[in-house]
Amino acid sequence: MKFFVDTAEVDQIAELNDLGMVDGVTTNPSLIMKSGRDILEVTKEIADMVDGPVSAEVVATDADAMIAEGRKLAKIADNIAVKVPLTWAGLKACNVLTNEGNMVNVTLCFSANQALLAAKAGATFISPFIGRLDDINLDGMELISDIRQIYDNYGYETQILAASIRTVNHAYQSAMIGADVMTAPPKVIKQMAEHVLTDKGLDAFLKDWEKTGQQIL
C-alpha cells in the first residue's frame, strides 16, 4: 500500500520522508490556507522533496478554467497530480488533462457511481472521503469496498486513494479492503506505530534490564 501524506506542512513531510514512509503528498485549498504559504512555492518545495505524486488542487469551477489552472499547476514539477473536484466540469477537466499526459486526482468522491465516472474519465487517482461520510453517519469504508469491487469487476486502472482518513482504524480497514493508496495526516501515520502492549512490554523489559546492572554500550 502506498502512503501519501495529507498536509502542506513541509517539516512534517520531511520527517516522514526521511523514514521512507512517503510515497506521495496530497494538498487541498484548506491545507494550503493552514500552511500560510503560497501555493506555487510550497507545492514546488514539496515536489522537489518527494519522489512520488504531489496533488495540487484547482479552485476554478468551470471546465476551461480548471484546465488552465491544472496546466499551470502541472508545470510546477513532473510529479504533480492535478486535483479536480468530482463535478461534471471536473470530469471534463480530468479527461482533457489526462489526455495531455498529466496525472489527475479526482477528489471529493462520495459515491461509487462518482468513482465509476472518474475511472471512465481516465483519472489516475480517485479520492473517496471516508471521514466526511462517517461525519454524517454513513459508512466511508463501505464506499472504499464498493469502489474496489467495481474497479476490479471491469479492470479499471484508476488507483483508489483512500482519503479523509482520521483514525488508525480507517488506515487498517483501507489496507484490508485493498485501497491502492491512503492519504493521512502525519499524526495518524505516526499513531499507527502505537500499541498499549508495546509500551507495557517495553516498560517491563527496561525495568528487568536495570536489575541486571549491565550496559550494551
**Which residues are identified as catalytic?**
83
Instruction: Figure out which of the listed residues 17, 124, 164, 173 binds ligand E4P, where binding follows CB under 6 A.
Output: 164
Query: Shortest approach of ligand E4P to residue 31 CB, angstroms?
Result: 6
Question: Site for ligand E4P (CB under 6 A): how many residues?
Answer: 12
Cell numbers of 85, please?
473536484
The answer to whether 6 contacts ligand E4P (rule: CB under 6 A) is yes
- Residues 165-194 touching ligand E4P, rule: CB under 6 A, are 166, 183
Which residues, in sequence order, are bridge partners of residue 56?
A: 82
Q: Which is nearer to ligand E4P, 95 or 164 (CB)?
A: 164
Query: Taking a C-beta distance cutoff of 8 angstroms, is the pair 43, 73 a contact?
Result: yes
Contact pick of 54, 141, 163, 189 for ligand E4P (by CB under 6 A): 163
Q: Which amino acid is at 116?
A: L
Residues 92-121, interacting with ligand E4P (CB under 6 A): 107
Q: CB of 161: closest distance to ligand E4P in angstroms?
A: 7
Q: Which stretch binds ligand E4P (CB under 6 A): 37-45, 125-133, 149-157, 208-216?
A: 125-133
State how far the Cα of 181 lies from the Cα of 210, in Å rounded to an integer: 43
- DSSP letters of 4-36? EEE---HHHHHHHHHTT--SEEE--HHHHHHHT
Considering only the C-alpha atoms of the chain, give the largest distance between any 2 of them, rounded to a whole number of Å: 72
- Residue 188 identity (one-letter amino acid): V
Going residue by residue from 7 to 26, which x/- string records binding to ligand E4P, judged by CB under 6 A? -------------------x
Reduced to 3 states, what is the DSSP secondary structure of residue 44? helix
| Cell matching residue 27 | 494538498
Residue with cell 486513494: 161
The residues that touch ligand E4P, with contacts defined as CB under 6 A, are 6, 26, 28, 107, 127, 129, 131-132, 163-164, 166, 183
